[in-house]
Amino acid sequence: MDLEWSAQDAIFREEVRDWLAANVPAETRPPGNEGVDFDRAWQRTLNAGGWAGLNWPKEYGGRGLTLNQLMIWFEENAKVGAPPPGVFFVAQAHAGQTLIALGTEKQKSKHLPGILRGDEVWCQGFSEPGSGSDLASLRTKAVIDGTDLIVSGQKIWTSFADVADFQELLVRTEPESQRHTGLSWVICDMKSPGITVHPIKKLDGQAEFASVFYDEVRIPLSNVVGEVNQGWKTAMATLGFERGTAFIGEMVTLVLDLEKLIAYAKENPLTGQSRPAWSDDSVRRTLSRLRAELAALRAMNYSNLSRYIHGATPGAEGSVVKLFTNQVSQRLESAAVDIIGGRLLNANAPEQEWALSYYRSILHSIGGGTADIQREIIADRVLGLPRSR
């Protein structure tokens, strides 16, 4: 066992550091959809620097990073607080790579250059009001009419729907089909007639979420990615692209945030007291416990990723990492609001950032598969327990 990086990786890390130092904007991203211009500017900077499509193959204009390099990229970005992909998340993390893996040449040439340049914002249309954790129960239907699909139904929890140009849309193309069969994954132009977007405000005050209604929306059959009625396969292919790096950036951010909180606790008292919060046994030990837990979160990420680098295939252990990331994040942000306490009652206090992080930490253990769904995945695929459903 060792934690040694190769000389090549060390050189790569220096290259990433230098580039980030010269290019990361000083200002922070404006919240919610107001950040679109900011995100676009950053995506264009990334593209100009050769950092768009990080792990896409070079033949499609990507950087073709190896897994070690991808890990280094995410670590270094988190360390300097580089902008997140924002509205380009779906395009960068899923859509582009789904097209590369299963799209037609025409679909690739139409969309990939625009995704890299920051011209195309994508959103995801998977969840429905009646299909959250149970995604395979989705009912939005698409009827084949000549060379078109006619889509009717509703999607929900679609982040950035009102600013998106395209959507990866999962619909039921085979009437009366059940569960995972009879679905299709289609490219939906969000400007198509019949689409209505209703933004939904989240608990952090941002209206990134939306309901999307489809009233006989016509989509060319040629927009189906993968085969008609094989959409579940296409959707599942989407999930494997991050190859275990999904939580590296968040892990680094949490480690840095905890040390910021420790510094805060050393300088500020609990409300109503005069000594620094750090001198309170319960506060100090809560934060120490988090230090140990974050060390373990880092070790888990490194352990899994190093096995993938040596050829292991990423599997359901990713759910273990997600579950733990969400738990530690909630404990950390919850400790922060406890320590800051009554100072948060001042709506203009600089500490409000911590309250927003606390709200988001709760949200994160629901998005991308709830904590309980992660436990189900672990029970099924890691522990091999008999199915509950």
List of long-range contacts for 59-68, beta carbons under 8 Å, 24+ apart: 60/96, 60/100, 60/108, 60/112, 61/112, 61/113, 61/116, 62/116, 67/243, 67/244, 67/245, 67/305, 67/308, 67/309, 68/5, 68/6, 68/9, 68/309
Name the helix (H) or strand (E) containing 253: helix 248-267
The encoded tokens of residue 61 equal 């204009």
Based on CB atoms, which residue is closest to other proteins, 345 or 383?
383
* SS3 (DSSP) at 224: strand
| DSSP class of 221 | G
Give the helix/strand (H/E) hosting 320.
helix 317-340
Q: Which C-beta is closer to other proteins: that of 28 or that of 279?
A: 279
CB of 76 to other proteins, least distance (A): 11
83 DSSP 8-state letter:
P
Task: Provide the binding-site residues for other proteins, judged by CB under 8 A.
Answer: 1-5, 68, 75, 79, 252, 255-256, 259, 262, 278, 281, 284-285, 287-289, 291-293, 295-300, 302-304, 306-307, 309-310, 317, 320, 323-324, 372, 374-376, 378-379, 382-388
Looking at residue 386, the DSSP 8-state letter turns out to be P
Q: How far is the CB of 296 from other proteins (least distance, A)?
A: 4
Phi first, then psi, for residue 44 (nearest 5°) are: -70, -35
Minimum CB distance to other proteins, residue 26 (Å) = 22
Q: Toward other proteins, which CB reaches closer, 191 or 389?
A: 389
Residue 236: CB minimum distance to other proteins, A: 21
How far apart CA 54 and CA 93 sit, in angstroms, is 10
208 carries an active-site annotation: no
Least distance (Å) between residue 16 CB and other proteins = 15
Element (H, E) at 11: helix 7-23
Is residue 77 within 8 A of residue 21, CB to CB? The reply is no
Max Cα–Cα distance, the chain, nearest Å: 75
Minimum Å gap between C-beta 259 and other proteins is 4
Pick the catalytic residue from 75, 128, 208, 242.
242
Return the active site residues: 242
